[in-house]
Structure 1
């Protein structure tokens, strides 16, 4: 759903840029409460994983494909504020390095793909975990529904933005019907990927899943006919001392394999927005991307003739750059949590 340059007029793009900048500023402050020394590296990995999986377009209808947006996945794994930052880092890397998503439309894309999907999905997720049984399985179920809802929600927001600042004269009712219809189908794929990933992480390190915190009920013992909380068991190894290196390395290797190898087999059909834009004439005023001459434009390495190797290498580079940039951002944010808060209170 990456919006290219030229779809939305300059004033509307500027307004969404201001909205996105404000949301990122709020998210940077909020992420200080979500991140610590254990979760900051995971957040960088989540950004890299989203980048990798977004390369895996899957078919959803005749001549149309979809890909992960990632807002729900990021929000549930590392928190909603950090989730907005994760997806924004991915969008920035894609726009600058791979000419995917217009640079003048960056505010539109952050507002739609990062803010909307994260806020909507996390609101749905929190609502569901409050009414579902307080078990880890509830997190997986809530993840599925939250991700499913987040994608058509992003389609609705794009339609609203287009209604305000679209550069072509197309009936909004037609745009809305087409966008929401195809993105409901894409949402199913999003939900499957999100729930499987969240479930896999919960299975090995539930303490690192933001959305699973505090869900397990305390063990009760019957004493003199009354139920009382059982004393907490002493862990064999302190939680803070548990190494999460294996999870991080596993996630990184998985991301590299997905981007470097599996992406070659992704669907070549246009994604939901591209298909709707072509069918409805939204793309008539699309502009050439400012980074179209980038050595990595189009998810291939310039001057490498072998398509498989070129695309795979570009994917590996993208994962590497995203994990480095993301991890650096989140490490700085987590460090400010430790060093900056006292200064703010004075």
Structure 2
């Protein structure tokens, strides 16, 4: 989903750049509430993991391949605002050192992959936590569903941006069908990888998973209540 230079016109790129700067600025402030002695080291590890895994592509079909975006994964592991910062740093390094995504399109890529996927993945994850039983065993699947939903939605945001400021005349419905279809398949891979990664960490150190904290707190309250009772 890395957008190269020249795909969007200057006004659209400038607008997404402004949105990216604003949201990252808010994230820098909000992340202070998420970071502690557990999430701070995890943030660096999450960024490094996403950077490494994004280099690995899996086939989707018809000569198309996909890779992990990692937005929902970062949100569940270290919190949504810290997750925005983690993915943004990855995208910045990729654009500056590896020419993966254009420099002028950096704001667009941050909006799509470091903001949309993180926030959508987190919202879906939290909604599932609220409506489903508070069980730690459900956390990986909930994270996987959040990751799956976030990818085609981010692709849909790109289609809207392209309709507003694309540099080529591509019919909206054609682009939407192609992007949504391909990224739905990519989202399946994203969901599986996210669920497995979250599940592996929960199996050994559930306290390191930011998204699992509400469940752990609930479990501790139940245990204390049963002991007192």
- With the shorter chain as reference, the TM-score category is over 0.9
Tell me how far 1:219 sits from its aligned partner. Answer: 3.5
Output the CA distance in 2 between the equivalents of 1:220 and 1:96.
Answer: 50
Higher relative contact order, chain-length normalized (CA < 8 Å, sep 6+): 1
Shift of residue 144, structure 1, vs aligned partner: 1.2
- Alignment check: 8 A CA contact 2:39 2:210 kept: no
Deviation at 1:128, TM superposition (A): 0.1
CA RMSD across the alignment? 1.1
Q: C-alpha displacement at 1:22, in angstroms?
A: 0.3
Q: Report what 1:26 is aligned to.
A: 26
3-state secondary structure, aligned to 2:59: strand
Match of 1:2 in 2: 2
Aligned residues: 225
Is residue 2:193 matched to residue 1:196? no
How many Å separate the matches in 2 of 1:157 and 1:230? 50
**TM-score after normalising by structure 1:** 0.64
Aligned to 1:230: 227
What is the alpha-carbon distance in structure 2 between the residues aligned to residue 150 and residue 116 of structure 1?
A: 7
Name structure 1 gaps, 5 residues minimum.
222-227, 232-346
Q: Please give the residue correspondences for 1:106-185 in structure 2 after superposition, counting only pairs within 5 Å.
A: 106-185=106-185
What corresponds to 2:51 in structure 1? 51
Instruction: Tell me the residue number matched to 1:75.
Output: 75
Q: Deviations over 1:184-219 (max 9, x none)?
A: 000000001000000011111111100000204333
How far apart are residue 220 of structure 1 and its match? Answer: 4.9
Partner secondary structure for residue 213 of structure 1 = helix
TM-score by length of structure 2 reads: 0.96
Partner of residue 300, structure 1: none
Kindly provide the CA deviation profile for residues 28-72 of structure 1, in whole angstroms up to 9, marking residues without a partner as x: 111000001222111011001001110110001121110001100
Paired residue for 1:219? 222
Instruction: Report which of the two structures shows the higher radius of gyration computed on alpha carbons.
Output: 1
Q: Looking at secondary structure, tell me which structure has more helix per residue.
A: 2
Q: Please report how far the alpha carbon of residue 229 of structure 1 lies from its aligned counterpart in structure 2 after TM superposition.
A: 4.1
Gaps of 5+ in 2: none
Q: Secondary structure at the match of 1:77?
A: helix
Note closer, same or farther for the CA distance 1:130–1:89 as it changes in structure 2 (3 Å cut): same
State whether residues 8 and 167 of structure 2, in contact with CA within 8 Å, keep that contact through their aligned partners in structure 1: yes
Aligned to 1:84: 84
